[in-house]
Structure 1
């Protein structure tokens, strides 16, 4: 770890101009690249006191050993140079929207004498028309198979084409009329190129023209009593319509646009993009990237567009729809317009079809991030690695096979609820989840979250101590060898609170950890580790420590802690909403002694409402099943008291 002051440039050395800067480590490797409208003002931020910096930024500047910069003329040039350096140096502290797979395109090689339709991946080639990208290659093959009925262009490889030409016999596709067989002269190269042009026009969105043409030819064949040809054209028409249905119009104005959406947490970012051409969705891409920079959503969007469209051969549409306007939007618009060769508009859709499509893309991004987390959580290797990393990072004597996490949920200090969730072997054990109604010293709730956390931990650890004592004093065991002291005499099941956690996690920072540590100390528990996880920066707080522990962003251990904390938060919110909802639906009958749910139900069935009950005589109330003269008199007096109104 280096001291940033050791390589900090003198204030007068840094120019007050737009430019791009890069931080390098002691080996000379570039670890971060950034741009600035004013290099002097921006670089000064990195050399502020370490405790004032974001943990990610602090980690970067203490890893670096030097900083260099290049002055440029405009902010557009800065954008372009920044991406060039990111691509060249692959800096570890820059967020990189890396797609982990190569998406296939439907390609037509118009530069060849006999154009060929095929599936293509990788860098785009000059003279080739591309449509897509598609999510799967089979989707392209299915589309091509349907269209070859109407546009029988070549789809075979160069080797197959040469062998057919040499032998004078077409391949199978030529025999089944899914290729016009230019290899054996059934059609001239010029006629075949016209077929390929029609295929490209159809894929580009001019579908209505070809559908009408086939319909007209079908009617003409029918009028001429050529029913065999009419039937074949009918099947061709059905194939065209199936392709059109698969590419339904989502934007009726025929817009060419890319629609981006982001979903993120503190560690990762899910990206989804729909490619709309001619008003139809022609392709979709999505991937999950690591979040390593301290960037807000507008800056993340800028980096996304910068990296997606800087790739060689990537088509820039007329419109780019984003969830929020990117930072430096005018400069980025100019950069993309220069790349496209005409005006590009970057905007946030506010209403209508484009807003609805943006919501769809966002739901896909949310779903992709949730699926990524689920698959990662279900990976046995990842779970084992996470537990091993927590043992090492937290200096635990053993792997934390049982982890309990606690959270407090409240609204303005009312209806306070604490949650306890349990993870064993890295997986949730929902049968051991618990909810706590926080009472406080006054019986009306705790004063703040720290007092509530202290109460919840105190109650849980007191129960642990009691059940440990019962287990220790019992010498009898059941048929499975479990001490009877660990068995609930009422249910015959094991007392789940009798199993101590290896690690307690509380949702919060230093104040919550201090309150929890006080509860642990008062309970006399010495063999349970305690930490807190602060949500905003994902910092791990240890009892009595002045500064938090920052785990690596790629750490499986940190991911497991985050998942446990989020589950505790979800469980607490659910319990709080349930309790708050029950309080809001309370009836005046709830406050009358002796009136349980069954008697209330019987009363309301008999009299219809509280107003009807109030109007009834004591004798009428006493005649209801479950009531006697004394309870009926008590109820009548209570409802007659001032201030009792029907809800």
Structure 2
């Protein structure tokens, strides 16, 4: 606190504060935001930070030891303060706030109702396409599971339009009875529309009405001696009953989110159950950043505004009711903020009875399971980090490990990846990719040197955390590049190791190359340290390959289609859509290309010739 007093005149600062509501931001000496908080009374709230050091908890003491200045924004109401606090946390992701790790949009099922033969598909992001959207589902796995059920039950197509419009015979989905092959006319529009309507009823939670209709159709088919059709309806009804028994959490409808939190042993988890029209759309486990030492109520208090209150231009669907596993302060404030955003009242409750209490108990059970699994995974990971320290003979257990890899195809479009791991696992927000230019094609040493210099020169400028251990995917040559790059930047204190593949290049036979040892380390295939190294190296490899493929794909599209005179962006997009991608265009004949609107014979010959030359 003494250093704080020298750098910051707390008394003068507090004297000038009023009793208004507002938001405060605590900054370090580099003006980076360390913490964002809201206050009903700014003066009272901020005064609590400047009490005697012994009266502060460990987290607050650590925060104040790094705080060099405080910025304050007054607001008219507490609701405005809550909204501003939420936006600032999402923007800055301060290290002392509990921050949601995953801020992606939730997935939906999209039905393209405007088409002659509508398609069911997985959708995430802005809802710009025409049609109906169902969800949000709690996870991609739950969405795909529902799509799989729909395909079995109603046989509505799920293929892309580019695939659908170029079929000359039924695909495998027809053979395994998951599609009626409208692409080749094996089902008429009326029958297909009936399947689409049944899928809609299922997604709208009207399964009982649909089953009643199917029972009538089954009886009618039986009376007219159409026994095969009657058997089809019978099987469909039985399948619907089985799915209904798995999906329905109660007999009543309604949209409800059920949220439970568990914390302890340095791990915090949040379990979110999504219920729409009385159907469970799955659950999602969320591991907040910096939530390890927070209480259950603190986790819920941080989660609710970040999850439900919209950021600029981005809204997340809000259910009719939110159920919590514990009481949370300022729930009325959150309700007011949601009301302002949605135009309707959304109750947030924890003290409920009957079926809602059972839903909360279900969420709590799953949160406890996720919490136990997280603790077990963290324990295993901690053991691996300890084994890594012993294997590499490090003084301390590394807190932060970075790993680099290079990916290219014959020297084309080289991309370097940097992945970061800590004791909690992968830190994906710290991952970085580097597009490598200005080097000789296939020169992995120069590519590695370039990526390392760019990475650590920037970390030096920003005074960002450096790794305790740097892993390089490669042998002695790549490791030498890392040593020279760090030496040129005058960076010391980072342990280095190269991960070289064995003679047969099989997993488990890796050799670990160290700067100060001529002989490589050959850990046993069941070594926990080797398993951790493999996991980090494989993640760096995956991240590099993903980036390289994207870079290579963009380069190839540009070099072939964009280099043809007379092919603008619209024609290029039309070609890619109609043929299902660049590979389809490359395989098309001149006559096939001429069928595309705007492609003359002369232009088709140019396109065909350009791809022949490129290959």
Distance (whole Å) between structure 2 residues aligned to residue 313 and residue 197 of structure 1: 29
Match of 2:254 in 1: 255
2:342 is the counterpart of 1:340:
yes
* Contact 1:107/1:129 (<8 A) preserved: yes
Partner of 2:328 in structure 1? 326
Whole-Å separation in 1 of the counterparts to 2:393 and 2:125: 37
> What is the rounded CA distance, in whole Å, between the counterparts of 2:139 and 2:237 in structure 1?
26
Cα shift at 1:287: 2.5
Match of residue 284 from structure 2: 285
Question: What do residues 450-486 of structure 1 show as CA deviations (whole Å, max 9, x unaligned)?
Answer: xxxxxxxxxxxxxxxxxxxxxxxxxxxxxxxxxxxxx
Moved more, 231-240 or 296-305: 296-305
- 1:70–1:390 distance in 2 versus 1, CA, 3 Å: farther
Q: What CA distance in whole angstroms lies between the structure 2 residues aligned with 1:389 and 1:265?
A: 32
Match of 1:117 in 2: 120
Alpha-carbon shift at residue 106 of structure 1 (Å): 3.6
* Cα distance in 2, alignment partners of residues 386 and 123 from structure 1: 46
Check whether the contact 2:262–2:368 (CA below 8 A) recurs between aligned residues: yes
Mapped partners of 2:21, 2:189: distance in 1: 55
**2: CA distance, partners of 1:332 / 1:265:** 26
8 Å contact from structure 2 (residues 111, 119) kept in 1: yes
Aligned to 2:602: none
Matches within 5 A, 1:27-176: 27-99=30-102, 105-110=108-113, 115-121=118-124, 127=130, 128-135=132-139, 137=141, 140-148=143-151, 150-164=153-167, 167=168, 169-173=169-173
State yes or no: 1:25 paired with 2:25.
no
1:255–1:278: 8 Å Cα contact kept in structure 2? Answer: yes
What is the CA–CA distance in structure 1 between the aligned matches of 2:105 and 2:74, rounded to whole Å?
Answer: 35
- CA displacement, residues 512-538 of structure 1 (integer Å, 9 cap, x when unaligned): xxxxxxxxxxxxxxxxxxxxxxxxxxx
The more displaced of 1-10 and 33-42 is 1-10
Does the CA-based 8 Å contact 2:262-2:296 persist in structure 1?
no
TM-score between the two structures when normalised by the length of structure 1: 0.54
Distance, in Å, in 2 between the alignment partners of 1:261 and 1:204 is 26
Larger radius of gyration: 1
How many Å apart are 1:377 and its aligned residue? 1.4
Summarize the Cα distance change of 1:213–1:374 in structure 2 as closer, same or farther, 3 Å threshold.
same
For 1:111-136, what per-residue CA distance to the aligned partner results, in whole angstroms no more than 9, with x for missing partners? 76754212344566565513352556
CA deviations on 1:166-213 (whole Å, 9 max, x unpaired) are x5x554445666445554566788986675454233122111011111
User: What displacement does 1:313 show?
Assistant: 4.1
Partner residue, 2:585: none
**1:307 Cα deviation (Å)?**
1.3
Q: Note the residue ranges of structure 1 that are not aligned, 5 or more in a row.
A: 394-647
Q: Residue 263 of structure 2 contacts residue 292 of structure 2 at CA under 8 Å; is this kept in 1?
A: no
Contact persistence 1:20–1:70 (CA under 8 A): yes
Q: Which whole-Å deviations, capped at 9, do the CAs of 1:495-551 have from their partners, x for residues lacking one?
A: xxxxxxxxxxxxxxxxxxxxxxxxxxxxxxxxxxxxxxxxxxxxxxxxxxxxxxxxx
For 1:485-496, what aligned pairs fall within 5 Å after superposition?
none
- Contact kept? 1:20, 1:69, Cα under 8 Å: yes
How far, CA to CA, are the matches of 1:292 and 1:105 in structure 2? 28
Query: Aligned partners of 1:261 and 1:226: how far apart in 2?
Result: 51
Q: Normalized against structure 2, the TM-score is what?
A: 0.57
- For residue 163 of structure 1, give the secondary structure of its aligned residue in structure 2: coil
The 1:240–1:294 alpha-carbon spacing in structure 2 relative to 1, beyond 3 Å, is: closer
Q: Tell whether 2:364 aligns with 1:362.
A: yes
Could you tell me how far apart the structure 2 residues matched to 1:48 and 1:145 are? 59
Return closer, same or farther for 1:337/1:185 CA change in 2, 3 Å cut-off. Answer: farther
Unpaired runs of 5+ residues, structure 2, are 398-615
SS in 2 for 1:69: strand
Name 2:355's counterpart in structure 1: 353
C-alpha distance 220-27 of structure 1, shift in aligned 2 (>3 A): same
Aligned match of 1:235? 235
Q: Quick one: structure 1 residues 111 and 301, their matched pair in 2 at CA, closer, same or farther if it must change by over 3 Å?
A: farther
| Counterpart-to-counterpart distance in 2, 1:300 and 1:110 | 41
What is the number of residues matched between the two proteins? 389
Partners of 1:266 and 1:291 within 8 A in 2: no
User: Which deviations, in whole Å up to 9, do the C-alpha atoms of 1:546-574 show, x marking residues without a partner?
Assistant: xxxxxxxxxxxxxxxxxxxxxxxxxxxxx
Q: Are the counterparts in 1 of residues 95 and 290 from structure 2 also a CA contact under 8 Å? A: no
Give the 3 Å change call, closer, same or farther, for CA 226–191 of structure 1 in structure 2: closer
In the other structure, the counterpart of 1:202 is 202
Give the root-mean-square deviation of aligned CA atoms. Answer: 3.4
> How far apart are 1:67 and its partner, in Å?
0.6
For residue 273 of structure 1, report the CA deviation from its aligned partner: 1.3
Partners of 1:112 and 1:73 lie apart in 2 by: 49
Between 1:285-294 and 1:364-373, the stretch displaced more is 285-294
- Aligned counterparts, 1:297-316, within 5 A: 297-310=296-309, 312-316=314-318
TM-aligned CA distance change 1:195 to 1:315, over 3 Å: farther
The alignment partner of 1:263 has SS state of strand
Q: State the SS of the aligned residue for 2:165.
A: helix
2:223 alignment partner in structure 1: 223
C-alpha distance in 1, partners of 2:2/2:388?
A: 29
User: Secondary structure of the equivalent of 1:10?
Assistant: helix
Judged with a 3 Å threshold, the aligned counterparts in structure 2 of structure 1 residues 325 and 386 are, in CA distance, closer, same or farther, namely farther
Q: Conserved in 1, the CA contact under 8 Å of 2:14 and 2:46?
A: no
2:186 and 2:338 map into 1 onto residues whose CA distance is 45
Counterpart Cα distance in 2 of 1:49 and 1:263: 31
Maintained 8 Å contact 2:270/2:286: yes
3-state SS of 1:330 partner = helix
1:364–1:234: structure 2 CA closer, same or farther, 3 Å change rule? same
Judging changes above 3 Å, is the alpha-carbon distance between structure 1 residues 334 and 198 closer, same or farther for their aligned structure 2 residues? farther
Cα deviation digits, residues 240-274 of structure 1 (max 9, x gap): 222212213x2333232111111101632111111
* Counterpart-to-counterpart distance in 1, 2:98 and 2:349: 23
Deviations 1:72-102 (A, max 9, x none): 1111111111111011111111011324998
Q: Is the 8 A contact 1:100 1:287 kept in 2?
A: no
